[in-house]
A and B are shown apart, each in its own frame.
Chain A
Amino acid sequence: NAGVTQTPKFRILKIGQSMTLQCTQDMNHNYMYWYRQDPGMGLKLIYYSVGAGITDKGEVPNGYNVSRSTTEDFPLRLELAAPSQTSVYFCASSRTSGEVNEQFFGPGTRLTVL
């Protein structure tokens, strides 16, 4: 049982490049989330999903896209990378919605856009 896994761990992008951050969970959780963490700012929700085929915007969705074709996977896509997207990205999952059940977090992806 690996929990929530994220790849890559680190990445440096040039402005305008695109990439996909991968997230997989093996706990059969319906709910999955993407957050970004900036120093002194806590975690901001980018997108979330309540099940395969269903996604919705969080607090800071601009510049990102997601898809959820399976229960296990929830990739995050950056189409045109900008310096403002330099951050640490965390994927999380929970058995049902996060208001009652705790979220399980992956180890994070540290992204730098130059």
Chain B
Amino acid sequence: AQSVAQPEDQVNVAEGNPLTVKCTYSVSGNPYLFWYVQYPNRGLQFLLKYITGDNLVKGSYGFEAEFNKSQTSFHLKKPSALVSDSALYFCAVRDMNSGYSTLTFGKGTMLLVSP
């Protein structure tokens, strides 16, 4: 079975400071990993994904994520937060060795960036 954990319900950061939103995963094989963002009253939007290759993945809006296989983590990062980054962030995982299956989403982390 595959699972993903987002240990923080909420992350608070001041504008201009770096931000990190944490995600850890559990799969039996190698993972496909995704980050999505949800703005109020909107659907989820894709930010970035890790399939294979470089452990540092760059995505939309200046976000990046670091894949760490030994720690089974895929933390989302941004060097300088903007107030407009305030939103709900979801990590998702799929085990690439499990045959056809679908994504499993975490519970989400609310990011609040203060002016």
A: residues with CB less than 8 A from B are 4, 33, 35, 40-43, 45, 48, 50, 58, 90, 92, 97-100, 102-108
B: residues with CB less than 8 A from A are 9, 32, 34, 36, 41-46, 49, 51, 90, 94, 96, 100-103, 105-108
Given contacts A102-B46, A108-B43, contact A97 B100 (CB under 8 A): yes
Residue in A35, A98, A100, A104 whose Cβ sees the most chain B Cβ within 10 Å = A98
B91: nearest chain-A partner, CB-CB = A42
A48 to B103, CA, bound (A): 11
User: What's the dominant secondary structure at chain A's contact region?
Assistant: loop
A4 to B9, CA, bound (A): 28
Partner of A40, one of B41, B46, B107: B107
Q: Determine how close the nearest CB of chain B comes to the CB of A97; give it in whole angstroms.
A: 6
Give chain A residues whose Cβ lies under 8 Å from the Cβ of B42.
Answer: 107-108
Give 19 CB contacts A-B under 8 Å.
A4-B43, A40-B107, A41-B107, A42-B106, A42-B107, A43-B44, A50-B100, A90-B44, A98-B103, A99-B94, A99-B102, A100-B51, A102-B34, A102-B46, A103-B44, A105-B36, A106-B43, A107-B43, A108-B42
